[in-house]
A = this chain, B = another copy of it.
Amino acid sequence: MDIFAFNPETDLELEKVIAASPANVWRCLTEPALVEQWFSPKPWQAHDVVLEPRPGGAFHTPMRGPNGEAMDEGPGCILIAEPNQLLAFTDAMRPGFHPTGSGFMTGVYLLSPTEAGTKVTARALHANPEARAQHDEMGFFEGWGTAMDQLAAVAKTL
């Protein structure tokens, strides 16, 4: 199911085929102990992850850097969780769909089985082309790409 129409003017996307089953990729996306292993490009690391894979559930991924730097934007909201198929979350809402009054993006992971394992399509949906450009300049492709490689490494261990 792909209800997230991709708009190249406002959105960013990357794809990777991972040598693991959709079920194991799903575990990596939704089990906090696994998320902490791959979500943040090393040497940064996510910690104390809270992830409730249901509409309205919490999505909280505080991160810390190698010198004790902290990054925590507070909890976001899961929008859709279809096991082994689709996970979407946003920082435009807190858990329970409470709007934040702002919000930078909606993140989407689409999974589909392939002969080699699972094709993962990761998307960041933004409000406008300026936000897309900002995310691109912040290093979307390198950051999410590295995270996706880390996800693949974790999935292979399951």
Spell out A's residues near B (CB within 8 Å).
3-5, 7, 10, 54-56, 79-80, 88, 90-93, 96-106, 108, 125-128, 131
Q: Are A127 and B100 in contact (CB under 8 A)?
A: yes
CA distance A108 to B100 in the complex (A): 16
* A126: nearest chain-B partner, CB-CB: B99
CB distance from A107 to the nearest CB of B (A): 10
7 shortest A-B CB distances, which residue pairs?
A101-B127, A92-B99, A99-B103, A3-B56, A97-B106, A5-B96, A92-B92
Given A56-B4, A90-B93, A92-B92, does the pair A98, B125 have CB atoms closer than 8 Å?
Answer: yes
Q: Are B93 and A106 in contact (CB under 8 A)?
A: yes
Q: Are B96 and A3 in contact (CB under 8 A)?
A: yes
* A103: nearest chain-B partner, CB-CB: B99
* A96: nearest chain-B partner, CB-CB: B5
Given A93-B92, A106-B93, does the pair A99, B79 have CB atoms closer than 8 Å?
Answer: no
CB distance from A30 to the nearest CB of B (A): 17
